[in-house]
Structure 1
């Protein structure tokens, strides 16, 4: 992927239709330095917009509101992608979720292969939720339903 790509390729769009985790990279509003946090409440609205939700208590919300240029790093099939763009608040408080969540849309400006030259991922990283699986599934369903209504 050497040329500038401004939307998700089909493989990434498909990946973002089900639960996946990404690294959300922001600029810290106090230090001005880079930050990176893992999130999983994210999906592709279309090939040019990613929608994600964050707990309103998270420092990330303040960071994005202060500097909306962000990068999403995602582990795709055989490679890692950096998705750059500008995030806008879609809904300050999602309805139907048991705690305050802020919903953002990332308008994609660039999608780049971020894996070093000559490398290929043998497998994407996986994660497990280590708390009550029924509670996790219920919360995930509430958050994604609220995000889709936003």
Structure 2
């Protein structure tokens, strides 16, 4: 059995310093079942804390308020990591953004390799924003600046 890892490695910390996307898994507040959504407004505040922001129209906000234990799944170098912990509200609403958002910190309890035994990622998945590139960049800059101030 491997030793429990309770903070980000140097490589994961570095990866979370630039825009990346993750799967955010929560417990649905209505059904009690698992749910997962992709988000990209996330960064590492330090080696034991991830900060992320969500649009208040998202069910994820209500899910986290009702069940703060969450998992962030990130596609890293050659593998997939599941980062477990407890989320807490940092600022609600997040100030300095054009619509109502909630900012959370995830206090990391465990970082685990989530890829099945004997496998290795050949390449990490990538994504493209398919709406107005200038507007997307402006909004991303506003959200990240507001998250860093919160």
TM-score range for the pair, normalised by the shorter chain length: over 0.9
CA deviations over 1:66-112 (Å, ceiling 9, x no partner): 00000000000000000000000000111110000100000000000
CA deviations over 1:52-74 (Å, ceiling 9, x no partner): 00001110000000000000000
**Residues in 2 aligned to 1:94 and 1:82: alpha-carbon distance in whole angstroms:** 26
Residues 1:135 and 2:135 aligned together: yes
**Corresponding position of 1:126:** 126
**Residues in 1 aligned to 2:11 and 2:33: alpha-carbon distance in whole angstroms:** 32
**Corresponding position of 2:67:** 67
Structure-to-structure mapping, 1:3-82, within 5 angstroms = 3-82=3-82
After TM superposition, where is structure 1 displaced by more than 6 Å over at least 4 residues in a row? none
**Residues in 2 aligned to 1:3 and 1:45: alpha-carbon distance in whole angstroms:** 24
Query: TM-score with structure 2 length normalisation?
Result: 0.99
**Residues in 1 aligned to 2:31 and 2:95: alpha-carbon distance in whole angstroms:** 32
Structure 1 segments unaligned to the other structure (5+ residues): none
**Residue 4 of structure 1: CA displacement?**
0.4
Structure 2 segments unaligned to the other structure (5+ residues): none
RMSD: 0.8
- Number of residue pairs aligned between Structure 1 and Structure 2: 150
**Residues in 2 aligned to 1:18 and 1:95: alpha-carbon distance in whole angstroms:** 21
CA deviations over 1:30-52 (Å, ceiling 9, x no partner): 10000000000000000000000
**Residues in 1 aligned to 2:57 and 2:119: alpha-carbon distance in whole angstroms:** 38
